[in-house]
A and B are shown apart, each in its own frame.
Chain A
Amino acid sequence: MRLSKRVLTAAIAVTTVALAAPAAMAPANAKTTVKVGLAFDIGGRGDKSFNDSAYAGLVKAQKLLKVVTKTVSATAGGAATEREDKLRLLAQAGYNPIIAVGFLYADSVKKVATEFPKTRFAIIDDASIALPNVSSLVFAEEQGSYLAGVAAAKASKSGKIGYIGGVRIPLLQKFEAGFVAGVKATRKSATVDVKYVSEPPDFTGFADPAKAKVIAKGMTDAGADVIYSAAGGSGKGNFENATEASAAGKPVWTIGVDSDQYLTASAAEKKHMLTSMVKHVDVAVFDMISAFVKGKKVADNLGVGAGITGRRYNLKNNGVGLATSGGYLKKLKIAAAVNAAAAKIKTGVIKVPTVPAA
C-alpha cells in the first residue's frame, strides 16, 4: 500500500485534564498557621455521601478551629501515581495535617508519608499503614450494619432478606457479617440472600445500578421484602427495584448506606427507604483536625498490627448509626429493638463479627 503524495499528519495531543476540585481557600488567620489538606475519593465533593460528609467535617473545622484548608480530588480510573502526586503536592506546599478520604489512597499515603515524616497524615477506611505519622481512621461498619439487620428482621414479613454488596472486599464483608448477625439474632428463622455486584479486582460493582437492579429484582422474585445495599452508586438500582416492585403489589423496604440516603432519594424512593446505615466521616475528620490543633495525635492502638494507630469510630463514639429520616423505624415500632441492640453493643454484651461466617 502506497500513501498518497500529500500525507496529512495530524498530531493529536491528548492532554489529560486534571479535574481537580476547585480549591477551597479560607482567609488565612493570623493566630494559627494550621493548614489542612484533604484529598477526596473518586467522586469528589458533591457526591452527597462519603466525600460530602468528609467535606462537612472540614468546613466545621474551618469555622470552629480557624484552619486554612485545601482540597484535591481523585479522578475515576486515575492511576495510583496521580493520587500520590496530589498528596505530595499538598505536603510540599506545607499542608499539615493531610487527610486522605478512602482506602484507595492506602498505597499513596504510605509512600508520601514516608517521604514527609514530619507531616501528619490520616487515611479514612484503611488500617494497613504502620507509620508513626499516619492515623488510620476506621469505622465499625459491622456495628451499624448489625442494627440495620435488626431493623430488617423486624420490618420483614416474609422472613427473607437481601444484602447487596458492591465488591467482595473485606471492607464490605464487614457490612455483610454485621448485617447477617443482626438479622439472625433478631429472628432465627430469617434468611439473608447475600450477593455482590462484582468481584475484585473489578471495582465496577460500586457504579453499576443496572446490575444491582437485576440482583434486587431476583431477590424480590424469590420473596425478599427488605434489601440492604452497601454498594455506593449501585445502590440506586436497589431503590428503583423497590419502587417498581411496590407498584406491582410487592412492597419492598430498602436500607441505604454511608450517608442518610433518604435525604437524596427521589420522592418515590423515599416511600420505601426504611433507614440508612450512616458512617460519620465528618466526625472523624473534625476529630483529627481538632486533635492536631491542640497538639495531640489521634493514635489509639487499633489492634490490627504493630504500629498501626488511629481511631475506630463505632456506636459508642457516635461514629456509625442508623438514620431516622422518614420516621419509618418509629412508625413500624422497631426503634425500641434497635436502641436496645445498640445499648448492648455499646456495653459489649453483644460482640459483632467482622467476617462473614463460612
Chain B
Amino acid sequence: MKSRSMRWSAYGILGVLVFSLVRAITGSSDLTSVGTFNAALLLAIPIALAGLGGLFSERAGVVNIGLEGMMVMGTWAAGFWGYQRGPWMGIVMAVIFGTIAAAVHAVATISFGVDHVVSGVAINLIAPGIVRYLSVIVYQDSNIPGAGPTQSPSVQSIGSNGLPFLSGGHVLGWQSPDLLGSIGAKGWFFISDISRILRGLTGDVSYVTMLCLLLFPLSWYLLWRTKFGLRLRSAGEAPVAAESLGVNVYRVKYIGVLISGALAGLAGGFLAIVASSNYQEGQTGGRGFIGLAAMLFGNWRPGGLLMGSALFGFSDALQLRASDAVHSALLVIAIGFAVYAVAQWRQGRRVGGAVTLALGLGVFALFTYVKELPGPFVTMTPYVTTLVVLSLATQRLRMPAKDGVPYRKGGDS
C-alpha cells in the first residue's frame, strides 16, 4: 500500500517536472498557471459529478443514459430557485429536480422492466421540453431583466475560499497570507510551477466545489467499505445471489438510481450557479454523456472517473484559455509517449514500444513543424487527449456483471 502511494507521488512529481520543463522551453506560461488549474477544476467538476452519478446507478445494475436529462433538470431548478431564494437553495432544488427525473427512470427500469437505454433516452428527450415549458410559464411574460424562455435571471455568487496561509483563504473575515501564490510568482523553475498548480487547485475555490470534491472519497467509502455499499454492488454483480441472502434488491437499486439523479442534478446546479451564474437553455452541452464516458473509462471506480474528468477539464481549460499552450502541450505529449515507450521496451514489449515511440516522434514533428494549430484541432484536444490517455491507461475494463440486465424478483439468472 505504501509503495503504491509512493509510486503515484513519484509519477505526479515527474509529470509536473515535464510540464515545468516544457513551460520553460516554450514560454507558454498557461501550462502551469494558477488560472488554468482553477478553470480546470470548474470544468471538471460537472463532468465528474455526472460520472459519479452514473457510477451509483450502474454499480446497482441500472444503466443510466439519462444523466444529461437529469442535469438539464438541475440547471433549470438552480436558475429558478437560485434567483428566488439564493444560490444554496438553488443547489438544493437542483439536487431535488435531478432526483425527480431519476425517480422516473427508476420506476420505468426497476419496477416495469423497461429497457434501460430506452428509458434513459426518453428522459434526455423529455427533460429539455419540460424545462422549456416551465420557462415559458414563469419567465416569458415576466418583466425580470434577463429572464426569458431560454434563460433565467442572474443568480448570486455562492462565495469562495482557499486554504488558510497556503492559498490566501480567509478565516472569519481575516485574510490570511498567500504563501503558494507568492512562491508561484517568483519564477523559480519547478518550485514556482508546483506552487502555482497547487494554488490554482486550492485557492479561490467555491464552497460547492469543496463539497463536490468531498463526495468522491465519501462515495468510495460508502460503496467499498460499508454494508450498504456491498449490497448495492451485489445488486449490480449478482442480484439473484443477493436476493437469496435476503437483500431487498429492488430497494437497493432504487436507492442507487435516486442517488445517481441527485448527483446529476447537483452537476447541473454546479454548472448553472458556480461555473456560470444563470440557467441557460442547452448549457449542459453533452457534459452528462462525457461524464458517462469518464465513468466507463474510469472502470466504474470513483478514482478512475475523477482522473478522467480532471484530464478532460485540464485540457479543456488549456484550449479555452490559450491556443498556444495547446501547441506546447504537444511537446508534453511527445515526452509522455517517449517515457511510455521506454517502459514498454523494458517490459519486453518491443513492438508496442516501437509503435509508441513512432507516435511520440510524430507528435514531436507536429510540434516542430506546425507553428499554430488550426482552431478546430485546438477545440478537439480535450476529447483526443482523454481518449488516448484513458485507453492507454485502462486496458482491462470490467463492468458490473449484471449491469443493464433487467432483474425480476424470484426469477433466475
Q: How far is the CB of B383 from chain A (nearest CB, A)?
A: 11
* Least Cβ–Cβ distance between B36 and chain A, in angstroms: 8
Instruction: Confirm or deny: A236 has a beta carbon within 8 angstroms of a beta carbon on chain B.
Output: yes
Interface contact A236-B128, CB-CB below 8 Å: no
Binds A, one of B15-23, B133-141, B186-194, B221-229: B133-141
Q: How far is it, in angstroms, between the C-alpha of A44 and the C-alpha of B320 when the chains are bound? A: 29
Q: Quick check: B128 and A77 within 8 Å, CB to CB? A: yes
A75-B376 Cα distance, complex, nearest whole Å = 27
- 8 Å CB interface, A1-53 against B: 1-4, 7-8, 10, 12, 14, 16-17, 19, 21, 42-48, 52
Partner of A199, one of B113, B145, B322, B379: B379
Q: Are A43 and B150 in contact (CB under 8 A)?
A: yes
- Docked-complex contact A266 and B151, CB < 8 angstroms: no
In the complex, what residues of B have CB within 8 A of residue A212's CB? 276
For residues 304 through 325 of chain B, which have their beta carbon under 8 Å from a beta carbon of chain A? Answer: 316-317, 320-323
* Complex interface: stretch among A104-112, A217-225, A296-304: A217-225
Q: Which of B375, B379, B405 contacts A1 (CB 8 A)?
A: B405
Residue in chain B with minimal CB distance to A244: B157
Q: Closest B-chain residue to A12, C-beta based?
A: B122
Question: CA A143 – CA B266 in complex, angstroms?
Answer: 43
Instruction: Chain B residues near A17: list those with CB within 8 A.
Output: 129, 133
Quick one: which of B383-413 are within 8 Å of A by CB?
A: 405, 408-413
Residues of A near B36 (CB, < 8 A) are 218
A125 located at the interface, meaning its Cβ lies under 8 Å from any Cβ of chain B in the complex: no
In the complex, which of the residues A10, A45, A204, A244 contacts B286, with contact meaning CB atoms closer than 8 Å? A204
Is A215 interfacial (CB-CB < 8 Å)?
Answer: yes
Is there an interface contact between B375 and A266, defined as CB atoms closer than 8 Å? no
Q: Which residue of A lies closest to B114 (CB)?
A: A10
Complex Cα spacing A46 to B141, Å: 7
Given A45-B149, A47-B148, A195-B320, also A208-B129 (CB < 8 A): no
Is the Cβ of B413 less than 8 Å from the Cβ of A222?
no
Task: Tell yes or no: B43 within 8 A of A by CB.
Answer: yes
Is A157 positioned at the interface, with any CB of B under 8 Å from its CB?
Answer: no
With A8-B113, A213-B275, A236-B277 as contacts: A43 and B122 at CB distance below 8 Å: no
Q: A209 in the interface, Cβ–Cβ < 8 Å? A: yes
B114, A266: Cβ atoms under 8 Å? no
B285 contacts A233, C-beta separation under 8 Å: no
The answer for the CA separation of A17 and B375 in the assembled complex, in Å, is 37
Whether, in the assembled complex, B174 has its beta carbon less than 8 Å from a beta carbon of chain A, the answer is no
Q: Mark A196-230, 1 if CB is under 8 A from B, else 0.
A: 11110010101111111111011001100000000
**Residues A76 and B132 in contact in the complex (CB < 8 Å), given A199-B375, A218-B320:** yes
> Whose C-beta in chain A lies nearest to the C-beta of B374?
A199
Tell me how far the C-beta of A231 lies from the nearest C-beta in chain B, rounded to whole angstroms.
Answer: 11
Q: By the criterion CB–CB under 8 Å, are A43 and B281 in contact? A: yes
Interface status of A168 (Cβ within 8 A of chain B): yes
In the bound complex, do residue B320 and residue A16 qualify as a contact, i.e. CB atoms below 8 Å apart?
no
Q: Decide: A233 and B145 in contact? CB cutoff 8 A.
A: no
Separation in Å of the B240 CB from the closest CB of chain A? 10
A45 near B285 with CB under 8 A, answer no
- For residue B195, CB closer than 8 A to chain A, the reply is no
* Cβ distance A104 to chain B, nearest Cβ, rounded Å: 13
Interface string of B99-142 (1 = CB under 8 A from A): 00000000010011110001100100110110011001001110
For the complex, give the distance between the alpha carbons of A208 and B108 in Å.
31
Instruction: Report chain B residues within 8 Å CB of A52.
Output: 148
The reply to whether A47 and B149 contact each other, CB–CB distance below 8 Å, is yes
User: Assuming A19-B132, A210-B271, A211-B320, is B276 touching A43 (CB within 8 A)?
Assistant: no
Q: Which chain A residues border B286 with CB–CB below 8 Å?
A: 204
B35 at the interface (CB under 8 A from A): yes
> Is the CB of B30 closer than 8 A to any CB of chain A?
yes
17 A-B contacts, Cβ less than 8 Å apart? A2-B412, A14-B125, A17-B129, A44-B136, A48-B145, A75-B129, A195-B323, A204-B282, A211-B320, A214-B39, A218-B321, A221-B35, A233-B281, A234-B280, A236-B151, A236-B276, A240-B276
Q: What 12 additional pairs, Cβ within 8 angstroms, besides A195-B320, A209-B276?
A: A2-B412, A14-B122, A45-B149, A46-B148, A48-B146, A207-B280, A209-B278, A210-B283, A211-B320, A214-B42, A214-B321, A265-B146
